[in-house]
Amino acid sequence: MKLNIFTKSMIGMGLVCSALPALAMEAWNNQQGGNKYQVIFDGKIYENAWWVASSNCPGDAKSNDASNPWRYVRAATATEISETSNPQSCTSAPQPSPDVKPAPDVKPAPDVQPAPADKSNDNYAVVAWKGQEGSSTWYVIYNGGIYKNAWWVGAANCPGDAKENDASNPWRYVRAATATEISQYGNPGSCSVKPDNNGGAVTPVDPTPETPVTPTPDNNEPSTPADSGNDYSLQTWSGQEGSEIYHVIFNGNVYKNAWWVGSKDCPRGTSAENSNNPWRLVRTATAAELSQYGNPTTCEIDNGGVIVADGFQASKAYSADSIVDYNDAHYKTSVDQDAWGFVPGGDNPWKKYEPAKAWSASTVYVKGDRVVVDGQAYEALFWTQSDNPALVANQNATGSNSRPWKPLGKAQSYSNEELNNAPQFNPETLYASDTLIRFNGVNYISQSKVQKVSPSDSNPWRVFVDWTGTKERVGTPKKAWPKHVYAPYVDFTLNTIPDLAALAKNHNVNHFTLAFVVSKDANTCLPTWGTAYGMQNYAQYSKIKALREAGGDVMLSIGGANNAPLAASCKNVDDLMQHYYDIVDNLNLKVLDFDIEGTWVADQASIERRNLAVKKVQDKWKSEGKDIAIWYTLPILPTGLTPEGMNVLSDAKAKGVELAGVNVMTMDYGNAICQSANTEGQNIHGKCATSAIANLHSQLKGLHPNKSDAEIDAMMGTTPMVGVNDVQGEVFYLSDARLVMQDAQKRNLGMVGIWSIARDLPGGTNLSPEFHGLTKEQAPKYAFSEIFAPFTKQ
């Protein structure tokens, strides 16, 4: 599914998950753009909160100043400063580097033929400019041109005022509009056009009064902010931070953020409307809302016992159970740790000596491989092939660009006599980097300064997730998870997450699948929501609690297409198993889903680690008397699972994994027979889905010959992508939904889902994370869920 396919911002299904890449540390040199940067300036590390201009200097940044995107993260270490540099003046000139093709973090998996297609997200519908406001991505027509917003856009921002890369205006010129587009959508030519609510734009709110409005008691149900087609939920203000749109209660009022909001931005009545505060007064909170959600009245934030750790220092010794912060993750050591020992998350600092081989253009190299070209040594930073390390365009000395090779200087070579006579390892010796030693008859080279760590030692640092208070934040389910359930996917990192409790009350949708939990990055064994949000105190947890209090429940999906799954970043099976256990335990889950797609459906190492860890955690649950259902979600074709998908299931069975079900993404087939645009009523896409299920049944029967047909049906799930699919020409209409529902009821499937609940809204004509691309006449609000909701039964 897609983790962020739509920004590929949806974390979603084949469903494509959008991963945020790991941030490379670099010196500030007037970076500009919408990428995420982490820079060193004047001994400190800063990270941009939104689009940054070359004129924005970290030295000018005040805490959460809305006019400057740079945010202080922590003090830079001496090592970081020495490996990059430490600019201290805002007058430094930009140091441009040539654009290069981004390199993948992991070795691409072989292409699966035929494979479900993963298309670009630049497929948004074009609309006329009419004062659009928000953090969604728009393509608008204005004065004969098409513009795209580079970051959050206000209703007052006019494309006609935009200059090329003007940091004060988010609109960017894309291309000239065609005559057909102008004829179809219109062509506003004046910035005096006023946005109107009928057009979907948000009218700016009047300034906040000098004193907070006194709430008026009433006995009505909590109202829902009505500025979009989604059912948004309220939450109490608790220092929310990010570009999501929040509706919060503070001191008797409901506030909404107008742009990126920092945790220190407080929605105080007398100052909320100044230019540096993103909070805007919406209305008075009702008595029912205050009773349900609470009413904070002070700007002091209670961190709920969250651990604040000091940054790791290699030159410092640590006692057992010490917790440190390293690369935006917390680590805890199980034993006393001497100075110049292991680095959290790092490999053993000793590497077995092997003479570097000559570089070959036909050889595939992965992270850590070393080669020699003309007497100079180079180390691969990630997967690479045919990129000559001797060329400057392929070199990455500081890890601050996307080039694959790190220059190491003159290649080291040793004679047999030198190798045999190398000094024996002495734990008391402080070794410099690149020192040759001999240990148990084998030669090793130190990769960094090291002391009291032998080549056979294991790293005692483990990723530490602070789960303080999480169980209380998400609440406890009141009922068992249904045997047959409609559980639409929710991209749980979108800006527009619907109010789940309202959907349960108003639309009878009581169960949801939350997507996606993924690794912080490809090298850090840390679970996160879409790489962007931590697991402990995510602001959206209030939606889960409200749903559970209303009698509903959620399951959680780990994985997706675009980000690294935990099974890829966690090389230790026990660490991986513990993460699975902690996620289920602290989020009070009864069902856990693993979405395995993209390159990961063919990545054998992560497949095997996942299955081993799932088997281990299932054994632990059994010993504790817990019954936790495990589902695997896989891409599929009308002919059934691909060989790679079957391999995932075969390996799971071989390792003893007990699956409650196999859910398949009946979408994005990339097959000519599933081209269904402009064929509403012919059920082409629906027939592709039912064909996929029929063939899946045969495949599962082959894996589990002792199960009855009814048992096989009960362990199958189908999840179509409603409306316009990622693959051009594939559309899933309401008539397709009725056919899929009929087949699901006939077979008594275990699960029906959709990608996604946020898309079950009319609007647009193309791919969108917030609309299905059909008209309201074709599919009104939550029409797909209205068809599928009756499927749920115990």
Residue 219 has pLDDT above 70, yes or no: no
Q: How far is CA 739 from CA 636, 684, 715, in A?
A: 18, 10, 20
Cβ(231)–Cβ(506) under 8 Å?
yes
- Where exactly are the structural domains of the chain? 23-83, 131-195, 350-463, 470-791
Cβ(247)–Cβ(256) under 8 Å?
yes
- In 251-340, DSSP assigns E strands to 253-257, 279-284, 310-311, 323-326, 329-333
Position 487 scores a pLDDT of 99
DSSP 325-373: EETTEEEEESS-B-TT-PPTTPPPSEEE--PPEEP-TTSEE-TT-EEEE
**Predicted confidence (pLDDT) per residue in 418-458, tens digit:** 999 999 999 999 999 999 999 999 999 999 999 999 999 99
Q: Does residue 253 sit in helix, strand or coil?
A: strand
Comparing C-alpha atoms, which of 601, 603, 605, 612 is closest to residue 576? 612
Instruction: Report, as an integer, the average pLDDT of 744-748.
Output: 98
Cis? peptide before 756, omega within 30° of 0: yes
Residue 175 has pLDDT above 70, yes or no: yes
Cβ(155)–Cβ(203) under 8 Å?
yes
**Predicted confidence (pLDDT) per residue in 605-661, tens digit:** 999 999 999 999 999 999 999 999 999 999 999 999 999 999 999 999 999 999 999
Rounded to whole angstroms, the Cα distance separating 34 from 608 reads 37
Residue 257 has pLDDT above 90, yes or no: no
Rounded to whole angstroms, the Cα distance separating 165 from 594 reads 41
Nearest-10 crossing angle of helices 604-623, 573-586: 50
Position 307 scores a pLDDT of 65
Residues in the chain: 794
Tell me what the pLDDT averaged over the chain comes to: 83
CATH-assigned architecture of domain 350-463: Ribbon (2.10)
pLDDT band, residue 265 (cuts 50/70/90) = confident
Position 167 scores a pLDDT of 56
Does the active-site annotation cover 597?
yes
pLDDT band, residue 269 (cuts 50/70/90) = low
Position 170 scores a pLDDT of 81
Position 275 scores a pLDDT of 57
Do the domains spanning 23-83 and 350-463 agree at the CATH topology level?
Answer: yes
Instruction: Report, as an integer, the average pLDDT of 726-755.
Output: 98
Q: What CATH class has 23-83?
A: mainly beta
Position 205 scores a pLDDT of 30
Q: Which residue has the tokens 């490996």?
A: 83
Position 23 scores a pLDDT of 58
- The structure's pTM equals 0.65
Residue 276 has pLDDT above 80, yes or no: no
Rounded to whole angstroms, the Cα distance separating 448 from 460 reads 17
Position 229 scores a pLDDT of 38
What does the block give as tokens for 284?
């008075």
Comparing C-alpha atoms, which of 783, 638, 666, 668 is closest to residue 729? 668
CATH 3.20.20.80 fits 470-791, yes or no: yes
Rounded to whole angstroms, the Cα distance separating 585 from 527 reads 14
**Predicted confidence (pLDDT) per residue in 93-142, tens digit:** 433 333 333 333 333 333 333 333 333 333 457 888 888 877 667 788 98
Rounded to whole angstroms, the Cα distance separating 154 from 368 reads 46
Residue 303 has pLDDT above 50, yes or no: no
Rounded to whole angstroms, the Cα distance separating 338 from 445 reads 20
Instruction: Report, as an integer, the average pLDDT of 350-359.
Output: 93
- From 47, 181, 244, 597, active-site residue: 597
Cis? peptide before 527, omega within 30° of 0: no
Backbone angles phi, psi at 60, to 5 degrees: -90, -5
| Among 134-138, 476-480, 610-614, 783-787, the least confident range | 134-138
